Homo-oligomer: A and B are copies of this chain.
Amino acid sequence: MREVVYTVRVEFGDCDPARIVWFPNFFRWIDAASRHFFVECGVPPWHETEKTLGIIGTPLVDTHASFRKTASYGDVLRIHTSIAEWRGKSFVQRYRVTRGDDVIMECDEVRIFAARREGDPTGIRAVPAPEEIRKLCG
């Protein structure tokens, strides 16, 4: 299982009047970590995979997050990202957000590999994860 780390510095404006990270910001960082993971694994950008594999992206269909400890500005967070499971036409992308030895937040997402639906310019459909992408992501 390959793991890629994305680093975030928490800024003043990421925090709310309780002086802690306002939780929607964690999802902002997790979305960046998701893309960073594929880039680091060597998966080409989606505008290229659209031509070669028909894949236009990995839309999110489900997310489940647990908040363990709070974080605040000045903190440096590390988002450890991996693919926890391949499930036919979907996969589980897993995130563990740490500050030093502390676990701050954990999140499991279900995403699909999306291709365009023929004859429907805006429709998409889930397709099996291409073997070459699975190999790159370990």
Q: What residues make up the interface of A, taking CB atoms closer than 8 Å to B?
A: 11-13, 15-19, 22-25, 27-28, 31-32, 35, 57, 59-67, 73
Whether B62 lies near A62 (C-beta < 8 A) is no
Tell me the interface secondary structure of chain A in the complex. mixed
Can you tell how many copies of this chain the complex includes?
Answer: 4
Whether A18 lies near B57 (C-beta < 8 A) is yes
A2 to chain B, nearest CB (A): 21
A49 to chain B, nearest CB (A): 15
Find the B residue at minimum CB distance from A11: B32
Find the B residue at minimum CB distance from A9: B32
Residues of B within 8 A of A25 (CB): 24
Whether A31 lies near B22 (C-beta < 8 A) is yes
